[in-house]
Amino acid sequence: MQPIRVAAQPTAERTLVLPVLPGAALSDTALPVTDEVRAEAAVLLTEATDAGAAGTVQVLARPLRTPRCLVLAGVGSGDETGWRAAGAAVSRAVTAETSITVAMPADASQEAVRGLAEGLWLAAYTFRVPGDDSVAAGPEVTIAVAEPDRYSAVLEAARVTVEATLFARDLTNMPSSIKGPEWLASEIRTAATGRPGVTVSVREPDQLASEGFGGILAVGGGSARGPRLVELAWQPPTARTHVVLVGKGITFDTGGISIKPVDGMKLMRKDMGGAAAIIAATLGAAALQLPVRVTALAPLAENMVSGSAFRPGDVVRHYGGMTSESTNSDAEGRLVLADALVYAVRRLAPDLLIDLATLTGANAVALGRRTAAVYSDSDALADALIAAAGEAGEQAWRMPLPADYIEYLGSDIADLLSYSDRGASSVTAALYLREFAGDMRDRWLHVDMSAPSWADAADGELAKGATGWGVRTLLRWLATL
């Protein structure tokens, strides 16, 4: 990550960024700006379209003068979202620069500085496979404010949040030739090492079998790389609330016997995006010293085609004894989540239970590419998480859990049918998972984040590829508990 600092009246010799409000209005800044620069900015704005809209930029080269480059960045209404968009746009507009100074308004809020920093860092992300060190650190950014000490805490919160988000992006982008369940479990263990208050344990296939994690074993049974269940915990001594986060961790999804077409399979390295998000958020909570106990459960498996793969029509016995008739082996994520949910309820006694999963393609059909679907019987829990998503710059929308769809989960040979071709598939998947929340169903929430977990092109603070969706939302939400 590129260095970003706050300072009072730094020297802006190379690139100076001035914020622009709607109506092409330049705000007063904490950093003195010459009349000459302001006059040039005013002329440049007269030629611009939608000047001041969040995320718009105009760049003026001044090679023989100081500063050498002037950037006008639209911040919209000036809220955190607008500043995040401005930061992302600036990051992409001046990639060749070595030094950038952003002149903040004299009355800049802490949220403005946090949004700007997050946008700058997130948009600058580039993934490289291990061993490729070709990515430069990026330009040094100085955020010019009147009172630097006032913003140090929010800048640190932004740094930790982005660092966690980029960790989730790295894990999700990693090719599945490298990223099997064992590798991913090892990466999580390494990331947790040396962090006070953080513990990690990994259940391997033999232990999963002896304890009855039938869903994880069924899905992972077709692969030569056996499944794992990672349990990562942050337990501060002052915690009053215990949250369990469960994340789908399918390191590659062929669809199993119900095999996917090529176009549906080529990006399936992203099918562990939920696990990446909940692991990264837990590590972020520890780094921020949030006073809430968090346990992350990541069931990891590779859904492959082989003679040992589970079949459509098989009955899977989950942890705790409930059974599922699986009529479609490409609906595998809910099977591993079911095991982890029951384990969480029976063994961990949480106050709140949240699961994140790249679960259904129907998520994108219903809500588009940028919005996650939220399901819960708790109005308060759903409202709080969706509000946190909005503040964090991620999008989520609450979906219904209609009672008349429950009959679609009926099976003649098991407790539940894991996949039904009737009803809305994202909804029936959520209803299925709810059955495993037991007596915590009124404190459970499910997020289907399949669509927003991946960006087909750079967009705002998102780089092409894995987005790390959910990390920012979870950290904002956990900070309120």
Q: Where are the alpha helices (DSSP H) in 73-202?
A: 80-93, 110-123, 152-173, 181-192
Which of 396, 389, 391, 463 is closest to 169 using CA atoms?
463
Catalytic site includes residue 14: no
Angle between helices 80-93 and 110-123 (to 10 degrees): 40
**Beta-ladder partners of 303:** 253
Query: What is the rounded distance in angstroms from the CA atom of residue 250 to the CA atom of residue 138?
Result: 33
Catalytic residue among 169, 203, 270, 334: 334
Catalytic site includes residue 334: yes
Enter the tokens of residue 311.
């079949």
Catalytic residue among 38, 68, 260, 464: 260
Q: Is 347 exposed, middle or buried (0-12, 13-18, 19+ CB in 10 A)?
A: middle
Q: Name residue 61's amino acid.
A: A
The dihedrals phi and psi of 283, each to the nearest 5 degrees, come to -65, -35
The dihedrals phi and psi of 373, each to the nearest 5 degrees, come to -95, 130
Query: What is the rounded distance in angstroms from the CA atom of residue 249 to the CA atom of residue 255?
Result: 14
Q: Are 279 and 168 in contact (CB under 8 A)?
A: yes
The dihedrals phi and psi of 30, each to the nearest 5 degrees, come to -65, -30
3-class DSSP state for residue 199? Answer: strand
The torsion region of residue 357 among left (phi > 0), alpha (psi -120 to 50) and beta comes to: beta
Q: Name residue 99's amino acid.
A: S
Cβ-count burial 262-288 (b if 16+ within 10 Å, e if not): eeeeeebbbbbbbbbbbbbbbbbbbbb
Which of 340, 186, 361 is closest to 268 using CA atoms?
361
Q: Are 120 and 93 in contact (CB under 8 A)?
A: no
User: What are the residue numbers of the active site?
Assistant: 260, 334
